[in-house]
């Protein structure tokens, strides 16, 4: 079973994404900010990261930059999810190490399609 780590400070968003992804057959863990996400990524191999941009303590950009520079963390693909919809926000996400960018609120089919594409199906 493919595993996904959702990193978002909003519990409603985490629950929404978790329910969609678990229903599609993925194993899902959650973190409330980039620091907690980094700790989990250091302890477990994930097949995909679904990362919010704006979070306290460590935002999504900093989380991805940190993951991408650490050899001990599995370099899983990452989907950045944000309410920010400008082209510069997308560019900043890709520069930080994102593989895909979705704007909130995410459409269920879109999230599932991207997750399946990123991890090669389930």
pLDDT in tens, the chain (122 residues): 999 999 999 999 999 999 999 999 999 999 999 999 999 999 999 999 999 999 999 999 999 999 999 988 878 999 999 998 889 999 999 999 999 999 998 999 999 999 999 997 55
Neighbours of 1 (CB within 10 A): 7
Q: What is the pLDDT of residue 121?
A: 56
Instruction: Indicate the angle between helix axes 60-69 and 34-43, nearest 10 degrees.
Output: 30
Task: Compute how many other C-beta atoms are within 10 angstroms of the C-beta atom of residue 80.
Answer: 27
Residue that the structure tokens 């990123």 belong to:
118
Domain 3-119 has CATH 3.40.50.2300: yes
Domain residue ranges in the chain: 3-119
Number of H helices, E strands in the chain: 5, 5
pTM assigned to the model: 0.95
The pLDDT value recorded for residue 85 is 86
């Amino acid at each position: 079973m493919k595993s996904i780590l959702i990193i978002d400070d909003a519990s409603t968003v985490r629950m929404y994404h978790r329910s969609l992804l678990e229903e599609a057959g993925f194993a899902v863990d959650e973190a409330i900010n980039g620091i907690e996400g980094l700790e989990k990524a250091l302890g477990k191999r994930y097949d995909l990261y679904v990362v919010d941009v704006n979070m306290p303590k460590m935002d999504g950009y900093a989380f991805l930059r940190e993951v991408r520079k650490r050899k001990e963390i599995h370099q899983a693909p990452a989907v950045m999810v944000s309410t920010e919809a400008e082209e510069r926000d997308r560019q900043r996400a890709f520069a930080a190490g994102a593989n895909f960018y979705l704007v909130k609120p995410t459409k269920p089919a879109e999230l599932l399609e991207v997750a399946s594409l990123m991890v090669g199906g389930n």
